[in-house]
Structure 1
Amino acid sequence: MKKLLLLSFLSIGLLSCKNNKKAEGMDLDGANASKKIEQQIAEAHGLNNFKNVKEIQFTFNVKSDDSLRTSRSWTWKPQTDEIRLTEGDISRTYTRKNNLNEEEKKMDQKFVNDSYWLLFPFQMVWSDANISEEKMGNAPISKKEMNYLEVSYGDNGGYTPGDTYVIYYEDDLLLQEWIYKSADGNREMPTTWEDFEDYKGLKISKSHKSPDGDFELFFTDVKVK
Structure 2
Amino acid sequence: MRKLGLLLLLTIVFIGCKTTSKKEKEEVSVEKKYPDAIANVLKKHGGMEKWNSMKSLSFSLKGEKHITDLQSRKAVVKSEKYSLGFDGKDVWIQKKDTAAFKGNPEFYYNLYFYFYAMPFVLADEGITYSETTPLEFEGNSYPGIKISYGANVGTSPDDNYFIYYNPDTYKMEWLGYTVTYFSKKPTTKVNIIKYDDWENVNGLLLPKSLIWYTKDEDGKPLEPRGEATVFSSVEINETSLPDNIFEKSNY
Please report the TM-score for the alignment, with normalisation by the length of structure 1: 0.65
Q: What does residue range 54-203 of structure 1 map to in structure 2 within 5 Å?
A: 54-61=55-62, 71-79=63-71, 81-91=73-83, 94-96=86-88, 99-100=89-90, 103=93, 107=105, 109-133=107-131, 137=134, 139-154=135-150, 156-170=152-166, 171-182=168-179, 184-203=186-205
Aligned length: 182
Shift of residue 121 of structure 1? Answer: 1.2
Percent of pairs with identical residues:
18
Structure 2 vs 1, CA of residues 93 and 136 (structure 1 numbering), >3 Å: closer, same or farther? closer
The 2-side partners of 1:42 and 1:208 are apart by 18
- The one-letter code sitting in structure 2 at the alignment partner of 1:58 is F
**Counterpart in the other structure of 1:48:** 49
For structure 1, which runs of at least 5 residues remain unmatched after alignment? Answer: 1-31, 62-70
Larger RCO: 1 or 2 (CA < 8 Å, sep 6+): 1
- Which protein has the larger Cα radius of gyration, Structure 1 or Structure 2? 2
Shift in Å, 1:79: 4.8
Unpaired runs of 5+ residues, structure 2, are: 1-29, 95-103, 181-185, 214-221, 238-251
**Displacement of 1:219 after TM fit?**
1.7
Q: Taking structure 2 as the reference length, what is the TM-score of the superposition?
A: 0.60
Would the aligned equivalents of 1:58 and 1:221 in 2 still touch at CA under 8 Å?
Answer: yes
Alignment partners' CA distance in 1, 2:174 and 2:108: 22
